[in-house]
Structure 1
Amino acid sequence: MQGIARRKRAPPHVFTTFCNKSLNLQFCAMADDRMPKVDISKEANKNIIDFIKLAEKNNLERVRKLQRLRRNNLITAFSLGAGVLGIYGYSIFADILRLYNLRALKQLSQNFIMDTRITDKIVKAAGKIKGGHVCEMLAEASPCAFKIIVGDVLSVNMESLFPPEEAKVWTDAPPNIHLIGNLPFNVATPLIIRWFKNISERSSAWKMGRVQMTLTFQKEVAERMVAPILTKERCRLSIMAQNWCHIEHKFNIPGKAFVPKPDVDVGVVHFVPLVTPIIDLPFDLVEKVARCLFSFRQKFCIKGISTLFPKSTRDDYARRMLDESALPHDLRPFQITLPEVGRLCFAYQRILDESPSLAKYNFRQHLDAELEDILSHEEALK
């Protein structure tokens, strides 16, 4: 086969060049000059950028999920740690109670606050007490030096507990003297009523000036003391408290924070005596009017006011008090403001000035006497 000439194969780069030129010629032949030219490299770059953005978005979502998971894990860890420490701390306090043979007496409504964070919060609610004098009602075990005074908290004279040089004029700012306490439920209301009377007379601790108080009560009692008009909590205690003090319901303490656990929650209330009471009349008179007014809370107020007087003159005097106070006869006690209660008290005072013997009338005592007469009469008929 020597006569046949061998065709030489073109080098690869020549073939590639030839193909590219052929394709370019073919595309040019098919393309119309009016058609838009497409930049293939630009479209490819756009797709790559979109893909990168999508990947970045997915990565950010994964990072956020991991951060949420980490935060939830930390919260769970702290909760478990706090629970373990709480159980450990409770066991320590229980050991302290056993060590000092401390027992909460149910008949005295005693409940201990074992959480020092809560006691610190109560102290903060009292305001600035640094360098001051604090009388703590029913104080707990403390590493600080303190003096225990044994006596009836309802009758003890607290004036002697504080140095005379701390006394201030009543119209001045309150002295740096504070009464702070976790009061047993069964004495809390009688005690605060007694102290309101001391404030009105500026006696006992309030000879030193407008001494502040930070005390605990059942949550319902705390709400009654700060209750405004037109609320279901408005009562006699609301009138007495708001007449002589500026009151703040600071916060509530859940029952589970006490040992033993009571059936109710507790409210912390801060009292600052007013320079001048809203109703500037003797305490006993204001208390009597408020007590009778709210003795029939859901009835018209004329019903409660009438119990201030004997049956023979009851209706006439009750109408006179409402007329002189410029109050409608169909008002209910929880609808009456404190200044309006004051007008009723002044009207009652004018009636007493005319007939002083009416001051001795007590509706409850006469009611009990009438009941005894009825019962004795029924016994005689048997």
Structure 2
Amino acid sequence: MSGIDALPPLRDVITTHGLSAKKSLGQNFLLDLNLTAKIARQAGDLSGSDVLEVGPGPGGLTRGLLAEGARKVLAVEKDARCLPALAEIAAAYPGRLEVINADALSLDPLAHLTPPIRIVANLPYNVGTELLVRWLTPPEWPPVWSSLTLMFQREVAERIVARPGSKAYGRLAILAQWRCEARIVMQLPPEAFTPPPKVSSSVVHLTALETPKFEADQKVLERVVAAAFNQRRKMLRAALKGLAPDIEDRLLAAGLKPTARAEEIPLEGFCALARELKRS
């Protein structure tokens, strides 16, 4: 019996079902159920929410979410080897766990979830950033989810919360911080995982804002930020010259120095430039 429920410890589950982690699937299993329960608690009160979990593996975080009172967990798992272990969890928590054997990149989970929705996941390293970008750029805002509590490689987590002037500051920071409050809430060393990855991990909690912090057209803002950071060593007047023939005038109108570089510009400045380009 484990510390959080009547199910076996995860090491026993992995041995019983032959669940060696696959590098091709970006798998690193977190076996300490006290840690998985702690991650679940970082998502806040789950009792009135459905939770989407991507890549549950043998179900450590799944059990943490259910033990912490999630109304329902929808676990999307690509690796069919994990399904028997997840079925045992579903049997222990009747009616509260639905498991779908699918690739999260090609699945629309909304038909299986009822708002309010939180997303909590130890994301596979190879798809984590792509899923985050999708969740941050839905067709309409506010999104269907109220918060994201996600584990990433520490380097990716630091890019999400980075501030202007730092090397980590870039497109991901702008995208995340424009319409969310983002903060790192946990750090995990490699030895917490089986097998241990070569990097440390961090849990990031993002809370969706009702409206963006600054007015801007999403597509224009994305285009501006992409152009600026694709050539981050260049001055803005050079990096952004393809966006408008009079880009220097546009930069000045937005209150920005044409000689500044992308990493010096705060979120508000990028939004001001996006508004200026949209207007023109």
Mind listing any 5+ residue stretches in structure 2 that lack a counterpart? 1-8, 60-85
Quick one: distance in 1 between partners of 2:194 and 2:32? 10
Which one-letter code corresponds to 2:146 in the other structure? V
Residue 230 (structure 1) aligns with: 165
Listed one character per residue, the Cα deviations across residues 118-137 of structure 1 (whole Å, up to 9, x for unaligned) are: 10110111111124322222
Q: Secondary structure at the match of 1:217?
A: strand
Q: List structure 1 segments (4+ residues) > 3 angstroms apart after TM superposition.
A: 92-95, 279-282
Quote the offset at 1:93 in angstroms.
Answer: 4.0
Residue 101 (structure 1) aligns with: 18
Quote the offset at 1:226 in angstroms.
Answer: 0.8
Which one-letter code corresponds to 2:102 in the other structure? G
Residue 286 (structure 1) aligns with: 221
Q: Secondary structure at the match of 1:211?
A: strand
Quick one: distance in 2 between partners of 1:303 and 1:127? 45
Quick one: distance in 2 between partners of 1:342 and 1:147? 40
Normalising by structure 1, we get a TM-score of 0.58
Residue 125 (structure 2) aligns with: 185
Residue 201 (structure 1) aligns with: 140
Quick one: distance in 2 between partners of 1:265 and 1:97? 23
Quick one: distance in 1 between partners of 2:218 and 2:100? 28
Matched residues, number: 238
Which one-letter code corresponds to 1:252 in the other structure? Q
Please tell me whether the aligned partners of residues 26 and 125 of structure 2 are also in contact (alpha carbons under 8 angstroms): yes
Please tell me whether the aligned partners of residues 141 and 210 of structure 2 are also in contact (alpha carbons under 8 angstroms): no
Quote the offset at 1:228 in angstroms.
Answer: 1.3
Higher helix proportion (structure 1 or 2)? 1
In the alignment, which of 249, 261, 265 is matched to residue 320 of structure 1?
A: 249
Quote the offset at 1:103 in angstroms.
Answer: 2.8
Listed one character per residue, the Cα deviations across residues 134-181 of structure 1 (whole Å, up to 9, x for unaligned) are: 222222243434111233312422322223xx4xxxxxxxx3x31110
Quick one: distance in 1 between partners of 2:27 and 2:172? 23
Going from structure 1 to structure 2, the CA distance change for 1:202 and 1:323 (only over 3 Å counts) comes to closer
Going from structure 1 to structure 2, the CA distance change for 1:157 and 1:114 (only over 3 Å counts) comes to same
Quick one: distance in 2 between partners of 1:197 and 1:237? 11
Please tell me whether the aligned partners of residues 136 and 175 of structure 2 are also in contact (alpha carbons under 8 angstroms): yes
Residue 258 (structure 1) aligns with: 193
Q: Secondary structure at the match of 2:110?
A: helix
Residue 349 (structure 1) aligns with: 278
Q: How does 1:17-36 map to 2 (within 5 A)?
A: none
Please tell me whether the aligned partners of residues 105 and 131 of structure 2 are also in contact (alpha carbons under 8 angstroms): yes
Residue 157 (structure 1) aligns with: 108
Q: How does 1:1-382 map to 2 (within 5 A)?
A: 93-139=10-56, 140=59, 141=86, 142=89, 143-145=92-94, 146-163=97-114, 166=115, 175=116, 177-198=117-138, 201-202=140-141, 206-207=143-144, 210-308=145-243, 316-351=245-280
Please tell me whether the aligned partners of residues 215 and 275 of structure 2 are also in contact (alpha carbons under 8 angstroms): no
Quote the offset at 1:347 in angstroms.
Answer: 2.0
Which one-letter code corresponds to 1:333 in the other structure? A
Q: Secondary structure at the match of 2:240?
A: helix
Quote the offset at 1:301 in angstroms.
Answer: 2.0
Q: Which has the higher contact order (CA 8 A, sep 6+)?
A: 2
Q: Quick check: which has more Rg, 1 or 2?
A: 1
Mind listing any 5+ residue stretches in structure 1 that lack a counterpart? 1-91, 167-174, 310-315, 352-382
Listed one character per residue, the Cα deviations across residues 180-211 of structure 1 (whole Å, up to 9, x for unaligned) are: 1000111111111111112x6148xx34xx52
Q: Say what the alpha-carbon RMSD is for the aligned residues.
A: 2.0
Residue 52 (structure 1) aligns with: none
Quick one: distance in 2 between partners of 1:235 and 1:149? 34
Residue 68 (structure 2) aligns with: none
Quick one: distance in 2 between partners of 1:283 and 1:100? 45
Which one-letter code corresponds to 1:182 in the other structure? N
Please tell me whether the aligned partners of residues 278 and 342 of structure 1 are also in contact (alpha carbons under 8 angstroms): no
Identity %: 32
Of the structure 1 ranges 181-190 and 319-328, higher mean CA displacement relative to structure 2 is found in 319-328
Which one-letter code corresponds to 1:154 in the other structure? L
Quote the offset at 1:331 in angstroms.
Answer: 1.1
Quote the offset at 1:95 in angstroms.
Answer: 4.1
Residue 70 (structure 1) aligns with: none
Going from structure 1 to structure 2, the CA distance change for 1:157 and 1:275 (only over 3 Å counts) comes to same
Q: Secondary structure at the match of 1:147?
A: strand
